[in-house]
Amino acid sequence: MRKHSERSETIQERDGGSGLLTKTEEHMVHTQVRRNSFAIDHMIKAIDLLINKEQCPWDANILLRLRTGLEIAIAENDTFRKVLWRHHQILEQVMPPQSTELDPSSFIIEQIRKRKFAFMAQSARA
C-alpha cells in the first residue's frame, strides 16, 4: 500500500495534481489489468478444480492461499480500473470533444448518405 500512495504523490507532484497519466503509465496500467484478469481467471479455475472436481476440503492451505491471492488481485484490478476511469474523466474535461464529432444519429445519417452516393456511382458505371 505504501508504494501506491508514493506513486499517487509522484503523479500529483509531476503534473500539478491533475491526475493525468502519461502514455507509458496508461499502457502499464492497461497491461497490469489484463495480467490481473488472466491471473484471476486462472485462480478461479484452480479453486473450481480443487473444490468441485477434486473434493478438496474448504480449509486446505492451498485453497486459503488461492483465495487470498484472488482477493488481492481483484482489489488491485479494481484500483487500477478506478485510476483509468479517473484519468479518462479528467481527459474529457481537459480536452473536450471536437465540434467536428457527430452525435450518433448524425453519424448514421451521414453513413447512409455516403453509401447512397457510393451505390449511385457504382450503378452509373454499370
Over residues 14-21, the mean pLDDT reads 61
What pLDDT score was predicted for residue 9? 45
* Residue 1: per-residue pLDDT: 43
Residue type, 111: Q
Could you read off the pLDDT of 46-98 as tens digits, one per residue? 988 888 888 877 778 888 899 999 999 999 999 999 998 888 888 878 876 66
If one compares 113 and 7, the residue with the highest pLDDT of the two is 113
Q: pLDDT: is 71 or 19 the higher one? A: 71
Q: Is the pLDDT of residue 99 over 70?
A: no
CA distance 99 to 101: 5
What per-residue confidence (pLDDT) applies to 43? 92
CB burial class (10 A; 0-12, 13-18, 19+) of residue 99? Answer: exposed
Predicted local confidence at residue 55, as pLDDT: 83
- Locate 41 and state its grid cell: 481467471
pLDDT given for residue 105 in this prediction? 77
pLDDT score, position 21: 82
- Residue-averaged pLDDT of the chain: 79
Residue-level pLDDT at 45? 92
